[in-house]
Amino acid sequence: MPTYLCLQRSLPADPPSEKPSPDEMQAMYAKFGAWMETYADQLVDTGGKLGEGRLVRAEGQVDGPFVEVKELVGGYMIVSAETLEAAIAVAEACPGLVRPGSGVEVIAIDKPG
Amino acid sequence: MRDADDPALFRRVFTRSVALLSRRWGLHRLAEVEDAVQAALMTAVERWPRDGRPENPAAWVATVAHRRLVDAHRRQAAVVPNDVEPPLQPLSSGVLGREIGDEVLRMMFVCCDPAIPIESQLVFTLKVLSGFSVGEVAAHLFVSTDNVYKRLSRARDVLKSRRGLLDLGPEQYPRRLDAVVLVIYLVFTEGHLASAGDEAIRVELCREALRLGGLLAEHPVGRQPKVAALMALMHLHASRLGSRFDGVGELVTLEEQDRSRWDRSHRAAGLRWLAMSAEGGTLSRYHAEAGIAAAHAMAPTFAETDWERIAACYALLERVAPSPWHRLNRALAVAELRGPEEGLALLADLTPAPQVTGSGAWAAALADLHRRAEHPASFVAYRRAALDRAPTDAVRRLLERRFDA
């Protein structure tokens, strides 16, 4: 099955959403666990949030970040699905991923052959 | 109850981490600490399903939040030097092991600072010790979020001004005990009001009060008869929480409640605590209220209720905490014993404030007494007032049912 890269995007133009309360976070935790179970077969790599890094260029390494990377791409995961639409469905079902202030870019990974 | 099944796990973890970290970072940084713990909980939401839930969730969250605070301060220190040295060392496992429970209790006493008005103490308790958000606190107390923010900032301002006094002196604990007991009682009574709002929210508040009371009662400073009396009254009232609505969701009177649905383990716990409260020379209002709750809990049927005991408890309550409501309740108990005329006679010399006599509950009680005493004119007048002022449709329907029987 084809695989898709899902990049969590922070969307600062959206109005800021309220920070969830502990009770709301517990509900998200339960939903997240349930989501992972439901789509277990399709979650190739549940990835994680992105942290510090470096830009490696021919001229040498540059200590970043020049741009606050995690504000553009908060995290990633890799999903396998028959079609882009099917991959989007998995990503959309992930609790908290698509909400005011956050979206997800779902990108096909072209493999040779 | 296993952690996994605890519907308030995240709130408990929030409270424990905030208590621990504000001890380390100082009360004047309380807001920062709360933000860091909230962010750490968000991280937990993502990590725990992947990595498995840690053995000690509060320790995990406190550690992550602490690191976040350290990083933030390091970045800031590069720009603005800190006047007070923040604790940049990692948390040790010794700290995380034993101290968390004690820290929560300490926080309870800290927030019952005499300089903080009682409404602010209540809101602060619900926010920091129960882990509700501002919106949730507002919903629980039926006030606006603005109101909650105001009360919170009042509490925070006082605590900020206490900077440097991270420790409560040992003499503060007994001095503040009454205030702590009162706040827990207020959380419970907010939860217990049957007349308005979402039942699930209310039950949550009663559970919180029981949890906080339990923490207090287990600690040496809380081993006092009045604390045991508070635990008794909360458990005994809680035992009846499930039966105030009938099978189709209509409110029912005490007389109509299906007593087989009263929770036995709460009742048993309440009676144990009641026994423990029967010590010492003084009776508190909590003793009187526990006595009333016990009289109801021990009556197998409404008809077998010990109204004499209840009347005596209300008389005691009137003495230690004078209020027209206590007199009214005594009048209702006396009416059960010796008829409605006697009950009404008890109210004859009372001149309560307009906000009391103008309330729906007062009108409803008087309507019922006049109905039973067969005073048609008074009954009709009070009935109208009671129905007009009923706080919810459910209450209005209950009243209509009872009056028009």
- Closest Cα partner for A82 from A41, A26, A21? A41
Give B50-77 as a DSSP string. HH---SSHHHHHHHHHHHHHHHHHHHHH
User: Which residues in chain A have Cβ-Cβ distances shorter than 8 Å to B135?
Assistant: 18, 21
Say whether B49 and A33 touch across the interface (CB within 8 A): yes
Whether chain A has a CB inside 8 Å of the CB on B13: the answer is yes
- Asked whether B135 and A19 are in contact (CB, 8 A), the reply is no
User: Which residues in chain A have Cβ-Cβ distances shorter than 8 Å to B131?
Assistant: 21-23
Cβ–Cβ pairs < 8 A, chains A and B: 61
SS3 state of residue B404: coil
Which amino acid belongs to residue B316? L
SS3 state of residue B251: strand
Residues near B5 by beta carbon (within 8 Å), at least 6 away in sequence = none
Residue A67's pLDDT is 57
Closest chain A C-alpha to B391 CA, distance in angstroms: 28
Residue A57's pLDDT is 80
SS3 state of residue B91: coil
Q: A interface toward B at CB cutoff 8 Å?
A: 18-26, 28-29, 32-33, 36, 46, 48-49, 75, 96
Kindly report the backbone phi and psi dihedral angles of residue A4, in degrees, each rounded to the nearest multiple of 5, phi listed first.
-130, 140
> B348: which 2 tokens?
């004859």
| DSSP structure class, residue B80 | S
Whether chain A has a CB inside 8 Å of the CB on B145: the answer is no
Question: Residue A111: how many CA atoms within 13 Å on its side-chain side?
Answer: 7
Whether chain A has a CB inside 8 Å of the CB on B193: the answer is no
In chain A, the residue whose alpha carbon lies closest to the alpha carbon of B49 is A33
- Option in A26, A32, A49 nearest B10 (CB): A26
In chain B, the residue whose alpha carbon lies closest to the alpha carbon of A33 is B49
User: Which residues in chain B have Cβ-Cβ distances shorter than 8 Å to A48?
Assistant: 46-47, 50
Element (H, E) at B395: helix B393-403
- Option in A25, A36, A96 nearest B41 (CB): A25
User: Which residues in chain A have Cβ-Cβ distances shorter than 8 Å to B35?
Assistant: 19
Q: Which residues on neighbouring strands pair with residue A57, listed in sequence order?
A: A60
Distance (Å) of CA B196 to CA A56, B190, B199, B248: 62, 10, 8, 17
Residue B118's pLDDT is 93
* Model pLDDT for residues A58-111, shown as the tens digit of each residue: 888 877 655 555 556 778 899 999 999 999 999 999 887 888 778 899 999 987
Say whether B45 and A96 touch across the interface (CB within 8 A): yes
Mutation target among B3, B35, B46 for the A interface, most CBs of A within 10 A? B46
> B115: which 2 tokens?
């300089």
Map tokens 């009954």 to a residue: B379
Element (H, E) at B101: helix B93-111
Which ipTM was obtained for this model?
A: 0.78
Whether chain A has a CB inside 8 Å of the CB on B62: the answer is no
- The rounded distance, in Å, linking the Cα atoms of B312 and B310 is 5
Opening angle at CA B188, ends B186 and B192, nearest 5: 115
Q: Say what the alpha-carbon torsion angle B92, B31, A28, A10 is, to the nearest 10 degrees.
A: -110
Whether chain A has a CB inside 8 Å of the CB on B49: the answer is yes
Closest chain A C-alpha to B36 CA, distance in angstroms: 12
- Asked whether B306 and B253 are in contact (CB, 8 A), the reply is no
- The rounded distance, in Å, linking the Cα atoms of B238 and B82 is 49
- Option in B14, B41, B49 nearest A36 (CB): B49
Residue A113: pLDDT above 70? no
Q: Say what the alpha-carbon torsion angle B228, B232, B234, B238 is, to the nearest 10 degrees.
A: 150
Q: How many CB atoms lie within 10 A of CB B63?
A: 19
pLDDT in tens, chain B (405 residues): 345 578 889 999 999 999 989 888 888 889 999 999 999 999 999 889 888 899 989 999 999 999 999 988 888 776 665 555 666 666 665 555 555 567 888 889 988 999 999 999 999 999 999 999 999 999 888 789 999 999 999 999 998 887 655 567 778 888 899 999 999 999 998 887 644 556 666 788 899 999 999 999 998 889 999 999 999 999 999 998 877 767 666 777 788 888 888 899 999 999 999 999 998 878 899 999 999 999 999 999 999 999 999 999 999 999 998 999 999 999 999 999 999 999 999 999 898 888 888 888 899 999 999 999 999 999 999 999 999 998 778 788 888 988 987
Kindly report the backbone phi and psi dihedral angles of residue B308, in degrees, each rounded to the nearest multiple of 5, phi listed first.
-60, -50
Q: Which residues on neighbouring strands pair with residue B100, listed in sequence order?
A: none
Q: Determine the length of chain B.
A: 405
Whether chain A has a CB inside 8 Å of the CB on B50: the answer is yes
- Closest Cα partner for B326 from B338, B334, B318? B318
- Give chain A as a 3 state SS string: CCEEEEEEEECCCCCCCCCCCHHHHHHHHHHHHHHHHHCHHHEEEEEEECCCCEEEECCEEEECCCCCHHHHEEEEEEEECCCHHHHHHHHHHCCCCCECCEEEEEEEECCCC
Residue B10's pLDDT is 95
| DSSP structure class, residue B210 | H
Residue A95's pLDDT is 84
- Asked whether B39 and B65 are in contact (CB, 8 A), the reply is yes
Say whether A29 and B48 touch across the interface (CB within 8 A): yes
Say whether A26 and B133 touch across the interface (CB within 8 A): no
Distance (Å) of CA B371 to CA B219, B302, B404: 50, 20, 10
Whether chain A has a CB inside 8 Å of the CB on B136: the answer is yes
- Asked whether A11 and A103 are in contact (CB, 8 A), the reply is yes
Residue A85's pLDDT is 94
Is the Cα dihedral B135, B139, B141, B145 positive or negative?
positive
| DSSP structure class, residue B2 | -
Residue B97's pLDDT is 52
Whether chain A has a CB inside 8 Å of the CB on B207: the answer is no
Q: DSSP alpha helices (H): ranges in B219-306?
A: 225-239, 264-277, 285-298
Which amino acid belongs to residue B5? D
- Closest Cα partner for B190 from B180, B204, B177, B176? B204
* Model pLDDT for residues A7-66, shown as the tens digit of each residue: 888 777 666 667 889 999 999 999 988 998 899 999 998 887 777 777 788 888 877 655
Output helix, strand, coil percentages for chain B, rounded to the nearest 5.
Answer: 75, 0, 25
Say whether B10 and A32 touch across the interface (CB within 8 A): no
Which amino acid belongs to residue B226? K
Distance (Å) of CA B123 to CA A21, B112, B120, B149, B199: 15, 11, 5, 9, 20
Opening angle at CA B115, ends B110 and B118, nearest 5: 80
Q: Which residues on neighbouring strands pair with residue A73, listed in sequence order?
A: A9
